[in-house]
């Protein structure tokens, strides 16, 4: 019976502490209008491959042909 009481009291304390409203709110130092357009459109995600597996070249490469031969070059 004592273990049940301690468990219920511990759960009540945890719920009470969480209901107080602990939360993290991010605050910026400047409004969005002060940030240049380049920073607004920035994406940290880079394109991994321009195409998937092709007929001759693998992911990240495209087929390029010159006057004498063809080869796989990295995509840009």
What is the tens place of the pLDDT at every residue in 30-60? Answer: 565 555 555 566 666 666 667 777 888 888 8
Is the whole model's pTM more than 0.95, yes or no?
no
Q: What is the pLDDT of residue 47?
A: 60
Enumerate residues 6+ apart whose C-beta is below 8 A from 60: 48, 49, 50, 74, 75
Cα 62 from Cα 38, distance rounded (Å): 29
Please state, rounded to an integer, the average pLDDT across all residues of the chain.
Answer: 75
């Amino acid at each position: 019976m004592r273990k049940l009481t301690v468990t219920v009291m511990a759960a009540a304390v945890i719920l009470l502490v969480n209901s107080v409203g602990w939360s993290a709110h991010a605050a910026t130092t400047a409004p969005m209008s002060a940030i240049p357009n380049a920073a607004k459109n920035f994406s940290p995600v880079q394109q991994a491959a321009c195409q998937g597996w092709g007929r001759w070249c693998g992911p990240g490469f495209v087929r390029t042909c010159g006057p004498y031969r063809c080869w796989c070059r990295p995509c840009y």
